[in-house]
Structure 1
C-alpha cells in the first residue's frame, strides 16, 4: 500500500523536478508552461485586493507569489491595525490558525522518514491513551450513551486525513461530553489533552467519514511521544529553524508585538468590528502547543515553507523532507467509500492528503474556486490561504485577519486574479 501511494504521489513532484533537471518527463509536453503571473496579472491582483479594502470588507490584506523560484508578486493594501492607522506590511505578523496544520504534518513526516512509524500503524501502538476507544451510537431510554466497539483501531493515517472519528463540541449529548472534557483548553499539556480525548467516545467508526477536528493536535502529541522531545522544540528544530522561519511562533515577544495585526469581525457589508478575544493567545506562553492551530507567521516566513514543498522538501541548503515524502503528503488518501466529508466539498474538486486538500479535478462549475489539478493547499479560520501549484512551480500566500471565514469571496477573487475565471464547461 505504501509503495503504491508513493508511486501515485510522485506524478506532480517528480515531473517538476525532471523539468528542472532537463530530464525527459513521463508526460508529453511541448514546452515548459508559460508564466502565470505576468504584468497584467499582477495589475489584476492589485485591483482585486484593493477593491476588498476599499469596500470596507477587510481592514488590510497582503499577498506574496513565487513562480519558478522567483518572486513575481508582492503587495499590501489597507491596515494591519485600522485604529492605529498601521499599514499592512510585508513583515506584519498574523494569526494563521489552521495553516499551522501543514507545518505539524511536516514535522510528523520527518519521523516517518526516520522509520519511526508506518501510516497504517495503530495510533495506540505509540499512544495507549487511545487503546480503549468506543464509538457513540446514541442514548438509551435513560439517557445513557450507547457505545460499540470500533471495527478497527484508529491508524496514524486516520489522524493525518481527518478520518479518526474524534468528536467535536456541539449541542447534542456527545458534543456536550466533548465540551465538558475541554481537552483543548490551552492550560492543558498535549499529554493531558490526549488523556482526556482518549476517554471520550468516537463520533463514527474510524476511516468511514471525514470530519475536521482535533486530529492534527493529536499529531503534535504523537510527535512529542515518538521523539521524546516537547512538540514546540521539535517543530522548531526540524522545520522552522531549518527554513529560517524565525517569525513563526506560538508566542510573540514584546519587541515584536508592534508588528502583530489586529483581527476583525465582519458584521455586514463594509462593517468591521475589532476582535478582542484572540489577541492574548499569543502574548503568554500557554502549556498547550496545538498542532492544529496556534502559530503566528509572516508572509516571507510562510512562503519559505511553501517553497520548500514545491521544491520537493528542500530550500536553499536546507532539506526538511525527501521528494517522495512530499509527494505522499500531496496525494489524495480518501477512498471513494468516504462519502460523508463535512465541509470539504466546499473546497471544490478535492480529496485530502496528509494535512492538505489535494485538487483532483478541474472546477466542475463556475461557482468554484479556480486552481490547477495537482495543487495542494490549506487555509485558516481568519481567512488566510496558501497553495502549492507544482504544475506551474507556483506558490501563493494570502494574509488577512477576518472573521468569519472568508464571507466575501476573497479567496475566489484572489485565485481568479491569478488564473482567470473558471471557464464554463469545466
Structure 2
C-alpha cells in the first residue's frame, strides 16, 4: 500500500508540476502514465459518481502494450448494490459501428469490393432509391433522382443520404411508416424497406448520422454469403477472443449485466427497469444491427482497440492489413461537405471509415482534449473509446447513462489523461 506521504507528494505535483511545462504531459520518460495522472483519473471518475450524476463507471488504458490504468467506481446495479467491475457487461450502442466497419473492411482486404462501388452493385434493393424534395400541393412527396449513385464509401462516412429522425418534416412520416430498424426485421427486410424510403439528401452532399452502418452489416451478408452475426463472429470477434461481445446475453451472465440509468437533473438519477432497458439483449431477435446492438466488457473492447493501434493485428492474429487501418483512420470528408450535423461537437475532427478522426488540436478549453491522429467513437449510453497511435495508447470508458453525456464525463476523462488545455502561445 502506498504511504500517505506519497499521495500528498503526488497531489502537490498535480497542482504545481504542470506550471513548469509548456504543455502538461501524462508521460514519464519511458512513455507510461505516471502515478500523478492515475490519481487524477481516479479523482475525476470518482467525482462524477459522488455527484450522483452517474451510478458507476469503469475505465481501462493500455500504452505501448502495457496496462497502465484500470479502476471502477460506483455500482453497475445500484438497486442490488452490485459494484461496477472489470467484467461488467454493458450496452455499447454505437461502439458497435467500428466493429461492423472492421468486418466490412475484411472483405475489402479480400478484394470483394471497392469503396467507390455503387451500393446497388451488390444490393439491387437500393437501385431505384429517390431523394425527398418536399411535398406537392396535394401533400404527396416530391422525389428526385440522386445526383450520383450512393457508394460504399458513403456508407462508411455517413454521407449516403439516409434520414433517421421521425421529426424530419414530411420525410419523417415515411421513415416511421417504413420502420426499417424494427428488431423483428431481418437485415434483408430492413434493406428492402430502406430502399423504398426516400433519402434525406443527395449522396455525398452532407454528413448525417443514421443507419449507414446497418446497411454495412447487410452488405457483409450480401457479399460474404453468411449471416452478419456469423461473419462478424468468425472474422473479428472470435479471432480477437472477444467472446463476451454479443447481441444476446445468456442467463448465466445476466448477473454481470449493468443496469441502465436515466439522468433527470443534477444528481437526480433513475435506474431503468430491466424489462425496459435490456429487452433487446435477453431474446434472440431477427435484426442484428451493424450500427448498434452489441454488449461488451472492458477487456473485450480493449482487445479490439489494441488490434487497431497495432494496425490490424494482435497476438499473432491479423484482422486487417495495416494500410486498411490507416485508410479507416484517415479523414474521408471533403471540405465541400459543409453540413455535418453534430460532428463538430466532437472537436477538430473529420470522419474516416466508421470513426471520427482528429485533425487538429483543441482550440479552446471547452473542446474535448486529444492528440492529432487519434480516431475514436462513442455510444448512446455515454460509453467511449479512442485509439492514439502517436502515443500507442488505447482507452475504453464504460458507463450506462442516458441522455448521452450531458455532464462532461468524456471531457473530464480526456482532460484527466492528457492534462489541462493549453494553447501553447
Structure 2 length normalisation: TM-score?
0.92
Aligned counterparts of 2:340 and 2:98: Cα–Cα separation in 1 = 19
Which residue pairs with 2:327 in the alignment? 328
Residue of structure 1 aligned with 2:214, choices 213, 217, 220? 217
Residue of structure 2 aligned with 1:107, choices 87, 103, 106? 103
Once the two structures are superposed, the pairs formed by residues 216-295 of structure 1 within 5 Å of their partners are 216-276=213-273, 277-295=276-294
Aligned counterparts of 1:275 and 1:186: Cα–Cα separation in 2 = 20
Kept after mapping to 1: 8 A contact 2:32/2:68: no
Aligned counterparts of 1:221 and 1:34: Cα–Cα separation in 2 = 45
Which residue pairs with 2:4 in the alignment? none
Once the two structures are superposed, the pairs formed by residues 124-203 of structure 1 within 5 Å of their partners are 124-171=120-167, 172-203=169-200
Aligned counterparts of 1:235 and 1:385: Cα–Cα separation in 2 = 21
Kept after mapping to 1: 8 A contact 2:56/2:73: yes
SS of 1:191's equivalent? helix
Moved more, 274-283 or 248-257: 274-283
Which residue pairs with 2:8 in the alignment? none
Superimposed CA distance per residue, residues 241-298 of structure 1 (whole angstroms, 9 cap, x where no aligned partner) = 0000010000000000010000100011111111232211100000000000000000
Q: Does 2:74 align with 1:75?
A: no
Superimposed CA distance per residue, residues 40-60 of structure 1 (whole angstroms, 9 cap, x where no aligned partner) = 100100000000000110000
Kept after mapping to 1: 8 A contact 2:91/2:293: yes
Aligned counterparts of 1:422 and 1:151: Cα–Cα separation in 2 = 43
Aligned counterparts of 2:201 and 2:408: Cα–Cα separation in 1 = 32
The alpha-carbon deviation at position 234 of structure 1 amounts to 0.2
Kept after mapping to 2: 8 A contact 1:365/1:425: no
SS of 2:171's equivalent? helix
Which residue pairs with 1:40 in the alignment? 36
Which residue pairs with 1:418 in the alignment? 417
The alpha-carbon deviation at position 160 of structure 1 amounts to 0.2
SS of 2:280's equivalent? helix
Aligned counterparts of 2:110 and 2:341: Cα–Cα separation in 1 = 33
For structure 2, the residue ranges without an aligned partner over 5 or more in a row are 1-27
The alpha-carbon deviation at position 424 of structure 1 amounts to 3.7
The alpha-carbon deviation at position 168 of structure 1 amounts to 1.4
SS of 1:106's equivalent? helix
Q: Does 2:364 align with 1:365?
A: yes
The alpha-carbon deviation at position 173 of structure 1 amounts to 1.1
Superimposed CA distance per residue, residues 354-401 of structure 1 (whole angstroms, 9 cap, x where no aligned partner) = 000000001121110100000000000000000000000000000000
SS of 1:80's equivalent? strand
SS of 1:147's equivalent? strand
Q: Does 2:205 align with 1:208?
A: yes
Superimposed CA distance per residue, residues 394-422 of structure 1 (whole angstroms, 9 cap, x where no aligned partner) = 00000000000001000000000000122
SS of 1:108's equivalent? helix
The alpha-carbon deviation at position 162 of structure 1 amounts to 0.2
The alpha-carbon deviation at position 143 of structure 1 amounts to 0.6
Superimposed CA distance per residue, residues 141-188 of structure 1 (whole angstroms, 9 cap, x where no aligned partner) = 111111111111000000000000011122221011101110000000
SS of 1:398's equivalent? strand
Aligned counterparts of 2:118 and 2:215: Cα–Cα separation in 1 = 13
Aligned counterparts of 1:422 and 1:189: Cα–Cα separation in 2 = 47
Structure 1 length normalisation: TM-score?
0.92
Aligned counterparts of 2:307 and 2:34: Cα–Cα separation in 1 = 23
Which residue pairs with 1:6 in the alignment? none
Superimposed CA distance per residue, residues 95-123 of structure 1 (whole angstroms, 9 cap, x where no aligned partner) = 00000000000000000000000000000
Which residue pairs with 2:46 in the alignment? 50
Superimposed CA distance per residue, residues 190-243 of structure 1 (whole angstroms, 9 cap, x where no aligned partner) = 000000000011110100000000000000000000000000000000000000
Aligned counterparts of 2:52 and 2:370: Cα–Cα separation in 1 = 27
SS of 1:251's equivalent? coil
Aligned counterparts of 1:38 and 1:295: Cα–Cα separation in 2 = 33
Aligned counterparts of 1:268 and 1:72: Cα–Cα separation in 2 = 34
Aligned counterparts of 1:33 and 1:359: Cα–Cα separation in 2 = 25
Kept after mapping to 2: 8 A contact 1:36/1:418: no
